[in-house]
A = this chain, B = another copy of it.
Amino acid sequence: MGKMYKENSLSKNQQIIFDLINKSSEPLKAYTILFSVQKKGIKAPPQVYRALDKLVETGKIHKIESKNAFVACRNSNCEISKATAFSICESCEMVDEISDTKLSKYLSGFNHKKGMKFKRFNLEFFGICKKCKKD
């Protein structure tokens, strides 16, 4: 019969917070999330941070390190957050997850001269997005 774990299901708080991030068009910060979910009974920072930690760990969301904010994963290929890349607009703050197989392969195969073997990478590109350039 094999494994019957609830492998892919989220707990109540995890689901609430994932839904919020997933439907957002922009990265959300922890305390913005906290404020938004207070009506649903999530009232304290640890509740938010624990859910965020778990969601990051399982690859459902990613942390944009340069912004201390979180986005839902839009890329089924970035298996458990081992290989993430984002484009970030310095004007409107828009963040877009980059899904580029060649880039991903190139970086996953990159070997450090000093012999360190990498398990994971995170890449953040910065620029001005198309929309902002027009304005």
A-to-B contact residues, CB < 8 Å: 65-66, 87, 89-90, 96, 98, 100, 103, 106-107, 110, 112-130
Contacts and interface: CB of A to CB of B under 8 A. Distances in A.
A123 B106 CA distance: 13
Contacts of A123: 107, 121-124
A53 to B, nearest CB: 14
A52 to B, nearest CB: 15
26 contacts: A65-B65, A87-B112, A87-B118, A96-B112, A96-B116, A103-B110, A106-B106, A110-B125, A112-B125, A114-B130, A115-B130, A116-B125, A116-B127, A116-B130, A117-B127, A117-B128, A118-B126, A119-B126, A119-B127, A120-B126, A120-B127, A121-B125, A121-B126, A122-B126, A123-B123, A123-B124
